[in-house]
Structures are given as C-alpha cells and as structure tokens.
C-alpha cells in the first residue's frame, strides 16, 4: 500500500495451527481445525521510506516446515526489495516464529539474512526464560548477529534515530517491545505479539499464551487509544483476515470502528 511517502507491505507465510506444544503446523485450506488449537497466520512487515527499508520481525524463515529462507526473500524480490536493501530490522521478541527469518544456513555456516541491516532488540529479553526451540534459536540468532556486528541492543524505551519510537510492553514476554514508525506526519504501529490480531482491538482478550495476560490487555487498550488519536496504521502479525487497519471512529458504547487495510 502507498501510504503518503511510505510503502507498506506484508510478507505472508501462510496459516498455521498452534497446539499446546506451541509448534506452528501449516494449515491445509478446507481441512477442519484440530481441537484445542489456535489458528494464526505469520506476517512480517516491510515499511519503505525514501531513505530506509525497515522490516518488523522476520517471520518463520527456515522454521516453517518444508521451507527455506527463499520463501521470504522471494516475496521481497517480488515487491522490488532485495535482501541487501533492508537497512533496519526491528525484533519485538525472540520467539522462533518471529526470528526464524533473521538468519539462514549456508552449508555449515549461519549468516544474517539481511547483510546490510542493523537488527534492534531489547537486551533484557535475551536473558529471560524461554523454552524449547525458541530458546535454542534465540542463542543462535544472537551469536550470528553479534559475530557480524549487526545487532544493537536497546534498553527500555527510546528512539532509533528520529524514525522509530520503541516501548517495552512486557505482557507476552517479560521485555516484549512494540514500535511506532513516524515519518512525514504519518504513524505506523507494530504491536508484535501483544497486539497480533485485529479482533483484540474491539474486545478485551486475555491470552493463555501470554506471560502476563492482564498486562497485554492493558497495553492493547493503550495502543488502540493512541493509534486512534494519531490516525496510525496498525499492523497485525498473526492476523488470518486482514494484516492492517486504521481506527477512524470511536463510540463509548460500541468502541472502535476498524477500517481494514489490504497490503
């Protein structure tokens, strides 16, 4: 979508069923949903300004069953963006479905997927307890990015230049962060896994998969209010319907009106 001087794209990796083991299993269209599972998509986002190409989270990459990193990079190429052009990568947290595309395997060596990008992550998130594959992949990703001098650690809230305002929300993980991209009077909100679905804007939702469900719910209300007041485009990482939306109206009785955006 052309949004003023910005171009906004989403890189869709498909739909998945997530069970108690937290594995993302590709969903086959037309098949019934397995019981006691979540049905989610995986959508990384690219925002291109006249001077920068910013990627918000990196998708599953090689963590998606039967795929390699070309599933992401081919989508980028189709949009006219090469891996080398990505200048900034914002990581909301280190769960495998958000950092799987950050690095890739070449023979016996692992390399950053975006060789000219600076990756930004919360330093305290690197030390928080993770389980299973996310814990292993986090360690690998950090090692690779630090070895190549491409990882910048963030501490708390602040700004990346005058482009990206970041805030630590916690909620989903102890030091999960969100991003507000500001450019030429426009605002884009990336809520990561604290605001991964558009339905969470219009109803109060406590997620069992969150580290602190109440805190996530409070932050969703804060983000919605600020997005509404600033006319921000909201990006939804796990949405299976539409990947982005505006909030053009608010009513005390019925809440926010969602205006879907097709990217």
At 19 the pLDDT is 60
Q: How confident is the model at residue 36 (pLDDT cuts 50, 70, 90)?
A: low
Average pLDDT, the chain: 91
C-alpha to C-alpha distance for 109 and 56, rounded to whole angstroms: 25
Model confidence over 65-112: pLDDT tens digits? 777 888 899 999 999 999 999 999 999 999 999 999 999 999 999 999
Q: What is the pTM of this model?
A: 0.93
**Higher per-residue pLDDT: 223 or 69:** 223
Lowest mean pLDDT of 3-17, 71-85, 118-132, 171-185, name the range: 3-17
Model confidence over 153-194: pLDDT tens digits? 999 999 999 999 999 999 999 999 999 999 999 999 999 999
pLDDT over 70 percentage in the chain: 91
Domains of the chain, each with CATH number or no CATH: 2-261 (3.60.15.10)
Sign of the dihedral through C-alpha 198, 202, 208, 213:
positive
At 208 the pLDDT is 78
């Amino acid at each position: 979508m052309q949004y003023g001087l910005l171009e906004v794209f989403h890189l869709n990796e498909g739909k998945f069923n997530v069970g108690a083991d937290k594995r993302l299993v590709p969903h086959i269209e037309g098949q019934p949903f397995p019981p006691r599972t979540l049905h989610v998509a995986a959508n990384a986002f690219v925002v291109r300004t006249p001077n920068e190409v910013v990627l918000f989270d990196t998708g599953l990459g090689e963590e998606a069953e039967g795929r390699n990193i070309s599933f992401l990079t081919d989508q980028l190429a189709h949009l006219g963006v090469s891996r080398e052009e990505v200048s900034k990568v914002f990581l909301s947290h280190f769960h495998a479905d958000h950092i799987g595309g950050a690095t890739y395997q070449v023979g016996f060596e692992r390399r950053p997927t975006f060789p000219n990008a600076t990756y930004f992550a919360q330093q305290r998130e690197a030390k928080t307890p993770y389980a299973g594959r996310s814990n292993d992949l986090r360690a690998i990703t950090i090692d690779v990015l630090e070895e190549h001098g491409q990882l910048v650690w963030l501490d708390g809230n602040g700004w990346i230049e005058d482009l990206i305002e970041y805030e630590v929300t916690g909620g989903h993980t102890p030091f999960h962060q969100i991003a507000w991209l500001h450019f030429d009077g426009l605002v884009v909100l990336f809520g990561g896994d604290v605001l991964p679905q558009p339905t969470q804007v219009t109803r109060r939702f406590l997620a069992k998969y969150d580290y602190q469900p109440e805190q996530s719910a409070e932050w969703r209300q804060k983000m919605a209010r600020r997005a509404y007041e600033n006319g921000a485009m909201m990006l939804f990482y796990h949405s299976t319907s539409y990947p982005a939306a505006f909030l053009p109206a608010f009513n005390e009785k019925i809440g926010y009106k969602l205006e879907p955006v097709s990217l």
